[in-house]
């Protein structure tokens, strides 16, 4: 899949390659929240939002596509296992586990509109953040605004700015999930994916992140050592 480009009048990505066959049109008009909104209106906003998030389930992570992985994980796959990491991690002083789970669920949610922008796309970090913030704002309008939309915005900004202990931990889970998936693809596809291990080396902020990364790297080193020995 090639990188999406964006027109000035829309935050929706336009792909050079054929678009998915499933196209459900979602109204992008701003829906002003009010306490007097009907149940039907609230339900319509929720379904519009969830329909837009469908692309998170179907958009494959670009880094794996670039390395020739067939049938790679989707954005939603990645976020789901990060949420599981937050669920099973040991307790840390001052860390709100529920908030970590929520951050994991929303941290890549803007990719429902902008797609998976990776360094290979050549988009500067500031521009990537701007596009994602604009997309998130649009998604929250589709949701109808209100407390839940505000919470999603707050969680996303907290993660983006690495602004809390919870954000620190979820940033580590993002990298842990990446190298664990890389190890799994190495085993499944017989590839060597050094790039992903090198790009995360020394960048873990928490003890849990460092410990889990060490375990993954230890398993990988053992596997590589066995391969170097060759068949018995």
| Domain boundaries, given as residue ranges, for the chain | 43-229
Polymer length of the chain: 232
- Domain topology for 43-229: Hypothetical protein af1432 (1.10.3210)
pLDDT at 232: 61
Q: Above 90 in pLDDT, residue 136?
A: yes
Distance (Å) of CA 88 to CA 83, 98, 101: 9, 11, 10
Mean pLDDT of the chain: 87
Q: Above 80 in pLDDT, residue 41?
A: no
More confident residue, 39 or 111: 111
Label residue 229 by pLDDT band (50, 70, 90): confident
What is the arithmetic mean of pLDDT over 22-28?
44
Token pair belonging to 79: 């976020």
pLDDT at 183: 98
């Amino acid at each position: 899949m090639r990188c999406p480009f964006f027109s000035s009048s829309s935050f929706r990505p336009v792909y050079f390659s054929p678009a998915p066959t499933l196209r459900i049109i979602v109204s992008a008009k701003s829906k002003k929240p009010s306490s007097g909104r009907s149940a039907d209106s609230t339900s319509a906003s929720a379904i519009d939002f969830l329909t837009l998030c469908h692309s998170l389930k179907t958009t494959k992570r670009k880094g794996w596509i670039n390395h020739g992985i067939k049938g790679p994980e989707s954005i939603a796959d990645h976020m789901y296992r990060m949420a599981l990491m937050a669920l099973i991690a040991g307790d840390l002083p001052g860390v709100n586990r529920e908030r970590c789970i929520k951050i994991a669920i929303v941290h890549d949610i803007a990719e429902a509109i902008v797609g998976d922008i990776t360094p290979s796309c050549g988009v500067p970090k500031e521009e990537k953040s701007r596009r994602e913030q604009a997309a998130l704002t649009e998604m929250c309008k589709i949701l109808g605004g209100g407390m839940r939309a505000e919470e999603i915005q707050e969680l996303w900004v907290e993660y983006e700015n690495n602004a809390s202990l919870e954000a620190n931990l979820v940033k580590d889970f993002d990298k842990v999930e990446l190298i664990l998936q890389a190890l799994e693809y190495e085993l499944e596809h017989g590839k060597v994916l050094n790039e992903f291990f090198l790009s995360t080396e020394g960048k873990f902020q928490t003890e849990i992140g460092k410990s889990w990364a060490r375990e993954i790297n230890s398993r990988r080193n053992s596997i590589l050592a066995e391969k170097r020995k060759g068949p018995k």
